[in-house]
Structure 1
Amino acid sequence: MRHSFGLIVTVGALLAAAPSHAQTFDPRYPVCMHVYSGASGGGGEWYDCSFTSLPQCHATAAGRAASCDLNPYYPVNAPPPRWHHKRSG
């Protein structure tokens, strides 16, 4: 009986815990758009990190409550990927 109560309390605590959020910044893209939806848009704000340049992000953000920022998790000094050619043999 004591173990059943402990199990129920543990499961209840796990179900009541707040859900975790996914990673906010996608490290594959150098520019992120920070979108503010405010009270009339349902509340909250989010980042859309799917832009390859600031002008591209600014064009998408035009007319919206949004700003464009450099992605702090984009690996600026990372070496470019090396392309391997397959040898036909």
Structure 2
Amino acid sequence: MMRGLVGLILGMGMIFASSPAWAQRYDPNYPVCMEIYGSDGSVVDCFFTSMAQCKEGATGMAGICFNNPYYVAPPAEAAPAEQTAPAASATPARSPRR
């Protein structure tokens, strides 16, 4: 009885471990997504750069625009370094002649 239970638990663990992972539905490169509703379910498309662009694309469709919860904003560009005048070149000291 105990072996059967252990075998069942290990078997279920292997089944769940080998299940294919679902693909991420949200592209983290774009801040706005649209969920389009159809007769066979809904589809999420994340390729909009603004809410206005998404709403234009949704015209005439049963869908909704929303902020992408997985959006990763690009890092801010560093401010350019302040330019300074080059330092005066030092002339090598000459040793006194003997």
Q: TM-score range by the shorter chain?
A: 0.5 to 0.7
How many residue pairs get aligned? The number is: 64
Query: Which position in structure 2 is the counterpart of 1:86?
Result: none
Q: Which amino acid aligns with 2:61?
A: R
**1:53 aligned onto 2:54:** no
Query: Which position in structure 2 is the counterpart of 1:6?
Result: none
Query: What are the ranges of 5 or more consecutive residues in structure 1 without an aligned counterpart?
Result: 1-9, 83-89
What TM-score, normalized to structure 2? 0.54
What does the per-residue CA deviation read over 1:22-68, in whole Å, with 9 as the maximum and x for residues that have no partner?
A: 1110000000001111xxx3x11111000000000000001100000
Percent of pairs with identical residues: 44
Query: Which position in structure 2 is the counterpart of 1:44?
Result: 41
Deviation at 1:81, TM superposition (A): 5.9
**1:79 aligned onto 2:75:** yes
Query: Which position in structure 2 is the counterpart of 1:23?
Result: 24
Query: What are the ranges of 5 or more consecutive residues in structure 2 without an aligned counterpart?
Result: 1-10, 79-98
Determine the C-alpha separation between the residues in 1 that align with 2:70 and 2:77.
17
Secondary structure at the residue paired with 2:47? Answer: strand
What TM-score, normalized to structure 1? 0.59
